[in-house]
Amino acid sequence: PSVLDSFALLSGQLNTLNKVLKHEKTPLLRNQVIIPLVLSPDRDEEIMRQTEGRVPVFSHEVVPDHLRTKPDPEVEEQEKQLVTDAARISPDVAQKQIQSLNKMCSNLLEKISKEERESESGGLRQNKQTFNPADTNALVAAVAFGKGLSNRRPPGSGASVQSGQPGAGAIIAGASGMQQVPMSGAPAQQQPMLAGVQMAQAGQPGK
């Protein structure tokens, strides 16, 4: 509430000031001249506070600079010289100079924008991830610990050995058959035995 009251008070004062300044009997401020009434070489704390520490004293040295309405004589002479030099140039020459200057500025802007695009694209290429961490972890686990690898053998591995040694081939085939042949009706413990018997009868082992 205190802030709102202060704001309302300031708003009312500003509206009153605007009405006074817009009144037809109020003279124009641009026609008024500011005259320093007191000049002192001593430090003035009020001026320091109002100027935020930029002007410590209001003396005869700083008054001409702060109350100046025209540039320095040297700057004024340089400005007159530039104006006379510009008046000597024909419109065609001035237009050519303007075009050349615009071309130089456009080329410079293109180079700057190209450098910015290249730097941004380079940063994106550096920050872009080129691998999948999940796949990398899966490969490391498979190589180091055998995680996720299948114990199954190809179907033709037992048949190739069976031609040379029938008994050994039947045993190997029976071992592979224990892992490959599922039986839906039998329990889990009986499936390897039944598969081994069936493969042994097919190979006709000696035992």
Nearby residues of 156 by Cβ (< 8 Å), 6 or more positions away: none
Domain boundaries in the chain?
71-119
Q: What is the pLDDT of residues 3-62, one digit of tens each?
A: 999 999 999 999 999 998 888 888 887 777 777 788 888 888 888 888 888 888 888 888
DSSP structure class, residue 30 = G
| pTM of the predicted protein model | 0.27
Joined together, the tokens standing for residue 75 give 């700057």
Q: At 58, phi and psi to the nearest 5?
A: -120, 80
DSSP structure class, residue 73 = H
Distance CA 25, CA 181 (A): 113
For 124-135, what is the mean pLDDT? 74
Distance CA 134, CA 140 (A): 10
The sign of the torsion formed by the CA atoms of 140, 146, 147, 153 equals positive
